[in-house]
Amino acid sequence: MKLTAEQLQQFDELGYVMLQDVFDPVEVGVLQEELPRIYAMDRPEVWRESTGVVRTAFAAHRYSKPFDCIGAHPRLIGPVQQLLDGDVYIHQYKINAKAAFDGDVWQWHQDYGTWARDDLMPEPRAMNIALFIDDVTEFNGPLWVIPGSHKQGVLEAGHDLATTSYPLWTLDKASITELANEHGMFSAKGKAGSVLMFHSNLVHASSPNIGPWGRTIVYLSLCHVDNHIRQFKREEWIAHRDFTPITPLDDACLRDLARERAAAE
């Protein structure tokens, strides 16, 4: 899959591209069926909110065949290779859940701000591509982004160790107010199977989910192989140290898994 000239221009100007219907219901269904097994795991990669519900499952491509397929799916890897102009590796892989009623906030931040400060990633030659596993609406904690904020470079941030179970380099209220008044905000919503691509310096956040519908989004944080991290103070399953270029799998890998499961029933 390749981005069009118009989509490339949008990414450059706004810092994101929203793509609908990238994966069909059969493919998404394979991932949805796998989530309860992952969420039930007792392992350090699976982080939980204070209520006990899952917040994030890191590095799921290492212990789940369907999510391993997503980690090398050509519909996700191809556009990122196009934007970063070369081979990429997985810097971080996470399944972010927003459980109904109990999904907590993700504060305002830039991902590259964390990657630069905590991992010594040299340049913002890395980005996120996010696959919606559920329908994401205004009622279940969608991602909010500030269009064009990626052009501001790395902004001053404080290390928030208290608000949630996950430490984050966050922006202050005055900075967010100034950016939002200048650029506005965009709420990334779409059906299950939609994909959001966004620049690593794009300012973004998501509110708590107090609605009765949960939502799950898979994030691949992909980095150009020449831009790999230089510091290794975080757990390896949070900031990976294998800089091997991703070799995309066959486009039908999820459908193949669906057929295997159907045959085994």
Helices 5-14 and 74-84 cross at an angle (nearest 10°) of 70
C-beta separation of 110 from 246 below 8 A: no
pLDDT digits (tens, 9 = 90+) for 200-248: 999 999 988 899 999 999 999 999 999 999 999 999 999 999 999 999 9
**What is the reported pLDDT for 104?**
82
Residue 144 identity: W
Q: What's the rounded Cα separation, in Å, for the pair 126 and 150?
A: 12
pTM: 0.93
Task: Write the CB contacts of 245 (distance below 8 Å, at least 6 apart in sequence).
Answer: 87, 88, 89, 225
Planar angle of CA 39, 42, 47, nearest 5 degrees: 65
**What is the reported pLDDT for 160?**
66
- Topology of 5-264 in CATH? Jelly Rolls (2.60.120)
**What is the reported pLDDT for 264?**
81
**What is 29-85 written as a DSSP string?**
HHHHHHHHHHHT--STTEEE-TTSSEEEEETGGGT-HHHHHHHT-HHHHHHHHHHHT
Q: Return the HEC string of 84-113.
A: HCCCEEEEEEEEEEECCCCECCEEEECHHH
Q: Which residues of the chain have pLDDT under 70?
A: 160-166
**What is the reported pLDDT for 156?**
82
Determine how many CB atoms are found less than 10 A away from the CB of residue 263.
7
C-beta separation of 20 from 190 below 8 A: yes
| Farthest CA pair distance, the chain | 56
What are the residue ranges spanned by the domains of the chain?
A: 5-264
Q: What's the rounded Cα separation, in Å, for the pair 125 and 224?
A: 6
| CA of residue 163 relative to chain centroid, distance | 20
**What is the reported pLDDT for 128?**
97
**What is the reported pLDDT for 162?**
58
